[in-house]
Structure formats: structure tokens, C-alpha cells
Chain A
């Protein structure tokens, strides 16, 4: 099956700094990628939809200026958490869409802000 990677898998940063998370589709081209956030023992919440070459579409309640998304190529999307705070600590998961409805998920990135 299609493979999606994320880097880093785990990152610890200090409050006020920015962190970039990469999401790559390794063996297919993804015109659309999605970014999710998963809180402990909870489900995945969609943050934004990322389309190659255009601006991301953010879900209601997600701060665009805080969670910067760039989808510069068909195989790479990045999520930058700017001026991170402890409440941004979470598990961030990306997915890439290969066909119309089939999404493949990355392994996730655990962000801890101290």
C-alpha cells in the first residue's frame, strides 16, 4: 500500500519557539494532504486540508497564523507550529489522499512544548 512518512516522530521544544513537521507521500503523488490533531485518548480532529500549490483550508477554530501549512510539492506538506505553547502539545498526524476517497496516514509526530 501507499506509504506516508512524517518527520520528526517526536519533538520537544521550548515555549515561544517554532516547530516544523514534514509529511511526505513516498510512493505516490498527493494533490491533497490533511493535518489532524489527536489528544490523548481522543479521536482525530481535522485541522486543515492542504492542496498542492494553493493555500490550505482551515477548519473552524484552528488559527491560521499559528499553524502554518505549506504544500509546495505533490509529495511534501509541512506544518509549522509558530510560537508554540504548552497547550499546543499534542499528537499531529498527516494523511495523503491517493484516490478520491482513500487516505493514507502518517505515523504521527508527538510535540511536547515545555
Chain B
């Protein structure tokens, strides 16, 4: 069965710092990849997604992610974070022929003002 690993459980950083969250998956076939964000007290929102094409994907709120197939990775980045980026971030994967999202364990990000 496929699995998704997010290696950072908690990240604390200051405003204007750069952010990178790791995501690795175990499935060897074609996959579609997602990053979701859950702000405190709110529901999951899609940040960005990768289906095919350019492996560098740009999402909302200045986030981007790079799909590196050889490393089975889909790391999320933001060059300069804001206090409002405090949230929990989830990486998710679905097989290209499937419909079930598999989520990583999530990374809680705290941005200090």
C-alpha cells in the first residue's frame, strides 16, 4: 500500500524566514500529488497540486512545490513566511488510476511575529 511521510512534525520559524517542508511517498507508479493547509479552526484547503508537466508547481499564497520523481519527493517551499502562514500542512498522494487520497502525518508550522 502506498504511504506518505512528512519528516518534520513541528516547525517554528520567524517571519520572513524561508520554509521548506519535506514529503516523500512510497508508491512506484504514476501519482498525483497535493499539498493542503489547515489554518487554526478552519477546514482543509488546497495549496497546490501536481498532475503532470512542469515539476515545479506554484500554488496560492506564494507557495510552490517541486516534484522529484527519482526521489519520490514533493517538497513544499515558501521563500518568506508570514505570521498568517501558521497552520498545519498536509501532503497527500493519489494513484493516477485511483481515487483515494493518502495523507502524510502533517507538519505544524508556527511562525513567530
Residues of A that sit less than 8 Å from B by CB:
1, 4, 32, 34, 41-46, 49, 93, 95, 97, 100-108
Contacts and interface: CB of A to CB of B under 8 A. Distances in A.
Contacts of A97: 99
Closest 10 CB pairs of A and B: A105-B44, A107-B43, A43-B103, A43-B105, A44-B103, A43-B106, A105-B43, A101-B32, A46-B100, A101-B94
B70 interface: no
Nearest to A4: B43
Interface residues on B, range: 20 to 34
A42 B106 contact: yes
Contact of A32 (B49, B99, B104): B99
B51 interface: yes
A93 B94 CA distance: 18
Interface in B86-113: 90, 94, 99-106, 108
Nearest to B96: A101
A52 to B, nearest CB: 14
A90 B56 CA distance: 36
A42 B9 CA distance: 10
Contacts of A105: 36, 43-45
Contacts of A107: 42-43
Contact of B100 (A41, A43, A49, A102): A49
A40 to B, nearest CB: 11
Nearest to B9: A41
A56 to B, nearest CB: 13
A106 B45 CA distance: 9
Given A45-B103, A105-B44, 6 more contacts: A34-B100, A43-B90, A46-B102, A101-B99, A103-B101, A108-B43
A43 B51 contact: no
Given A32-B99, A46-B100, A102-B49, A93 B43 contact: yes
Given A32-B99, A101-B94, A43 B43 contact: no
Contacts of A44: 44, 90, 103
